[in-house]
Structure 1
Amino acid sequence: RLTTANRCFQQTQPILVFQIQLSELERDILQQNEIYAQMRRTLSELMEFYYVLQKVDAFFEVHMEDDAMNEFSAAELEEAVCYFKRFHVWLRLFIYLVHMTVRCTSATSFNYE
């Protein structure tokens, strides 16, 4: 035979379990939103860095004088160009991956702001 306290506990137990689950889900959603915001900031910073690199590259293509070019050997210049191209490709790939991750995350996150 159940006492009144036991019956009361049995009636409120599903509510307590639901509240715990709801708290965990809310924490997960807030964490996802923070991750999403951080990824957006990172993407913005990477895009800014990419555009700065483009401007620097354009500046040196236009303003580098022949005398400065003569200071480097052809092999050194070729190596520098090769490194720059590799870095450029990796930076573009990283920006693309961050952008795709942000898009995928935004489709599954909720924003309570």
Structure 2
Amino acid sequence: MAEKGMLSGHKLSGIRFRLQDGGHHIVDSSELAFMLAAHGAIKEVFQNGNWQILEPIMLVEVTAPEEFQGAVMGHLSKRHGIITGTEGTEGWFTVYAEVPLNDMFGYAGELRQV
């Protein structure tokens, strides 16, 4: 049916439909007719709807020596992370954040350079 979504061009998946009303005619009703009707319905919904593209969010927990707290929090903020909490004990700290998955690629290598 739809190989590409209308917002980002990615394949549509996980879509469910509920047919609320319809008719069947021996001459006009065929599998192709129903496929074209479904395609038209998807197109109409995308044109008239209010859509947003959502991305996966990672729950990140970083534990490091206290002296690197500023650098770690700066890196997470640079990657569009939202700090949700911190705690510290005996020279170590743990920071909790929510960060978009796409912004986390390469983060481990960046931490090693600190």
TM-score (norm 2): 0.27
Greater Rg over alpha carbons, structure = 1
TM-score (norm 1): 0.27
Bigger helix fraction = 1
Report which structure shows greater RCO (CA 8 Å, sep ≥6).
1
